[in-house]
């Protein structure tokens, strides 16, 4: 989807609905704006339910200050105008009150940007704007000063977040990524014994991660599409969209792949919004070559290595479910011996260094087995496998659900794991291999 072909009013409705549906703002909280090529500022209205916006609700503020529309512009229009005035290069401003980022705003601290490589890449700098009354010129000045210094992400003391970008998709990408990282930091502090227990990435980690950007693959032209391939494309899109809605990955982070019977595989593309992927966006990879005109996920080498080394694996899912990732950024062990379902599906989860997914891809792929269908890469991601796409997805769901339950249980009492003898009984009853 190219949002440059979507009218500003429709973009604002689309992204506000997305923010509201994900619980990242309230009925009355938050506002979005887009500045068009004519200098008009399209902005969400004041006092209108954010969950039911239509294009007719959007207000257009002309360069001379006059308005077009049936409502008043948002009361926060002054700071939107201040951002555009300070930064003519920006064309979109997003403001919202997501719980995790509001938590940081009310303790007046910035979230850590060094937990995952993708966060630092998308959100390189965050500033804090001094508190002022919402809708006031003073608040606009305080926010505008931060943007004037070249920062695109500003945390508002005791308020929320303001993000600017070249278009609304990139503003939303920064917003979603930063909020994810803030939530991850909060969860990790609960299981690790406080903020100080959280593991951060060393400086060299970012350079290691960026090596994936230089991946070069030859092209091939597919001359036909089998029924098997078309079914796989359909099923992948169904579960990719479900995964996004469930928060198993973000708009641009997360990779699914499915192996076809001819040895080729389908994989999600690089950089495209997971919420709007279509069947033809998926990339077929065959014999080290990619489908012409498309760019596969930067994790394509790991997926290829797993399929090469494990003929029984038919699907590989790389994701960042926030509760499971809380274990990946602390030294806390993720132990699935909680309920029988968790152990049956997850068995023994191995933990590998963050850089092994880039520098020792073959070694990382070798870690998977029948008794180890999932691997956690520190400060990076989780990877689950399965003999079918649905089986792999089930494992990913169970992994996140189990992690969520473990974190919640810490507020209740000591965890009692299934004992070794009880594990043996489960293995026998369900014919689990070692």
pLDDT digits (tens, 9 = 90+) for 35-94: 999 999 999 999 899 889 999 999 999 999 999 999 999 999 999 999 999 999 999 999
pLDDT at 433: 84
Question: For residue 1, how many C-alpha atoms fall within 13 Å in the half-sphere facing its CB?
Answer: 13
Question: What is the residue-averaged pLDDT of the chain?
Answer: 93
8 Å CB contact between 105 and 95:
no
pLDDT at 213: 47
Residue 89 tokens read as: 């290069």
209 within a domain of the structure (yes/no): no
329 within a domain of the structure (yes/no): yes
204 within a domain of the structure (yes/no): no
- What average pLDDT does this structure show over 392-405? 98
- Please name every residue paired with 269 in a beta bridge, in sequence order, or none if there are none: 296
Rounded to whole angstroms, the Cα distance separating 318 from 301 reads 12
8 Å CB contact between 293 and 370:
no
Rounded to whole angstroms, the Cα distance separating 142 from 82 reads 9
pLDDT at 124: 87
Whether residues 184 and 223 fall in one domain: no
- What average pLDDT does this structure show over 17-33? 92
CA-based nearest residue to 42, from 27, 62, 26: 62
Run of H or E including 385: strand 381-386
pLDDT tens-digit profile of 226-259?
A: 999 999 999 999 999 999 999 998 888 899 999 9
203 within a domain of the structure (yes/no): no
Ranges 100-114, 136-150, 191-205, 291-305: which has the least confidence: 191-205
Whether residues 169 and 313 fall in one domain: no
Which pTM was predicted? 0.93
Whether residues 145 and 224 fall in one domain: no
Give the count of domains, the chain: 2
Domain range spanning residue 127?
A: 3-197
Rounded to whole angstroms, the Cα distance separating 241 from 116 reads 23
272 within a domain of the structure (yes/no): yes
pLDDT tens-digit profile of 266-285?
A: 999 998 999 999 999 999 99
User: Can you give the CATH number for the domain in which 352 is found?
Assistant: 3.40.225.10
pLDDT at 295: 94
Whether residues 150 and 65 fall in one domain: yes
Which stretches of 41-86 are DSSP H helices? 77-86
Burial of 172 (0-12, 13-18, 19+ CB in 10 A): buried
Whether residues 275 and 139 fall in one domain: no
- What average pLDDT does this structure show over 353-378? 94
CA 77 to chain centroid: 29
37 within a domain of the structure (yes/no): yes
Whether residues 321 and 424 fall in one domain: yes
Whether residues 157 and 275 fall in one domain: no
Q: Which of 197, 230, 262 is the last residue of a domain?
A: 197
- What average pLDDT does this structure show over 201-217? 69
Rounded to whole angstroms, the Cα distance separating 94 from 51 reads 16
Q: Does pLDDT of 165 surpass 50?
A: yes
pLDDT at 120: 87
**Percent share of the chain, pLDDT over 70:** 97
Residue 289's CB is within 10 A of a number of other CB atoms, namely: 14
Q: Which of 132, 164, 197 is the last residue of a domain?
A: 197
Concatenated DSSP letters of 116-139: SHHHHHH----EEEPP--TT-HHH
Rounded to whole angstroms, the Cα distance separating 397 from 394 reads 5
Q: Does pLDDT of 8 surpass 50?
A: yes
Whether residues 183 and 219 fall in one domain: no
254 within a domain of the structure (yes/no): yes
Band (pLDDT 50/70/90 cuts) for residue 131 is very high
pLDDT tens-digit profile of 419-433?
A: 999 999 999 999 998
- What average pLDDT does this structure show over 357-386? 95
Each as own residue / partner, the long-range contacts of residues 257-263 (CB below 8 Å, 24 or more positions apart, any chain) are 257/297, 257/303, 257/315, 257/316, 257/317, 258/232, 258/314, 258/315, 258/389, 259/307, 259/313, 259/314, 259/315, 260/226, 260/228, 260/229, 260/232, 261/228, 262/286, 263/287, 263/307
Task: Return all residues near 351 (Cβ < 8 A) that are at least 6 apart.
Answer: 328, 333, 334, 375, 376, 377, 378
pLDDT at 212: 52
Whether residues 283 and 379 fall in one domain: yes
Can you tell me which residue has the tokens 């951060």? Answer: 200
Residue 220's CB is within 10 A of a number of other CB atoms, namely: 16
Whether residues 154 and 221 fall in one domain: no
pLDDT at 196: 65
- What average pLDDT does this structure show over 315-330? 97
Helix/strand number for the chain, H first, E second: 15, 17
292 within a domain of the structure (yes/no): yes
pLDDT at 348: 92
8 Å CB contact between 389 and 331:
no
Q: Does pLDDT of 195 surpass 70?
A: no
Q: Does pLDDT of 123 surpass 90?
A: yes
Whether residues 133 and 82 fall in one domain: yes
Whether residues 154 and 16 fall in one domain: yes
Q: What is the DSSP letter of 19?
A: H
Q: Does pLDDT of 2 surpass 90?
A: no
Rounded to whole angstroms, the Cα distance separating 251 from 273 reads 5
Concatenated DSSP letters of 173-194: HHHHHHHHHHHHHHHHHHHHTS
């Amino acid at each position: 989807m190219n949002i440059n072909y979507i009218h500003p009013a429709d973009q604002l409705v689309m992204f506000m609905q997305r923010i509201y549906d994900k619980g990242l703002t309230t009925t009355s909280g938050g506002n979005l704006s887009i500045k068009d090529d004519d200098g008009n500022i399209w902005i969400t209205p004041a006092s209108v339910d954010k969950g039911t916006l239509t294009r007719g609700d959007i207000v257009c503020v002309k360069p001379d200050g006059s308005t077009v529309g049936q409502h008043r512009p948002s009361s926060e229009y002054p700071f939107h105008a201040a951002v555009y005035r300070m930064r003519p290069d920006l064309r979109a401003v997003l403001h919202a009150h997501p719980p995790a980022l509001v938590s940081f705003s009310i303790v007046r601290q910035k979230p850590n940007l060094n937990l995952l490589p993708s966060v630092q890449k998308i959100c390189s700098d965050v500033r804090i704007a001094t508190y002022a009354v919402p809708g006031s010129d003073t608040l606009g000045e305080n926010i505008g000063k931060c943007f004037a210094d070249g920062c695109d992400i500003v945390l508002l003391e005791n308020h929320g977040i303001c993000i600017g970008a070249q278009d609304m998709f990139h503003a939303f990408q920064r917003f979603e990524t930063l909020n994810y990282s803030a939530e991850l930091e909060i969860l990790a502090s609960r299981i690790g014994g406080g903020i100080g227990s959280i593991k951060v990435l060393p400086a060299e980690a970012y350079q290691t991660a960026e090596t994936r950007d230089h991946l070069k693959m030859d092209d091939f032209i597919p001359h036909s599409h089998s029924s098997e391939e078309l079914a796989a494309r359909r099923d992948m899109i169904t579960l990719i969209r479900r995964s996004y809605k469930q928060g198993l990955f973000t708009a641009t982070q997360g990779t699914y792949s499915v192996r076809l019977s001819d040895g080729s595989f389908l994989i999600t593309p690089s950089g495209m919004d997971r919420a709007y992927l279509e069947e033809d966006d998926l990339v077929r990879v065959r014999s080290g070559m990619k489908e012409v005109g498309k760019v596969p996920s930067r994790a394509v080498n790991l997926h290829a290595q797993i399929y090469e080394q494990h003929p029984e694996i038919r699907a590989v899912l790389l994701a960042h479910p926030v509760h499971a990732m809380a274990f990946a950024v602390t030294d806390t062990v993720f132990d699935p011996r909680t309920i029988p379902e968790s152990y049956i599906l997850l068995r023994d989860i191995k933990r590998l260094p963050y850089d092994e997914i880039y520098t020792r891809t073959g070694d990382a792929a070798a870690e998977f087995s029948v008794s180890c269908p999932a691997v956690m890469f520190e400060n990076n991601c989780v990877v689950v496998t399965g003999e079918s796409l649905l089986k792999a997805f089930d494992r990913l769901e169970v992994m996140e659900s189990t992690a969520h339950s473990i974190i919640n249980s810490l507020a209740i009492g000591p965890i009692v794991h299934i004992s070794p003898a009880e594990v043996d009984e489960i293995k026998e009853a369900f014919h689990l291999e070692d």
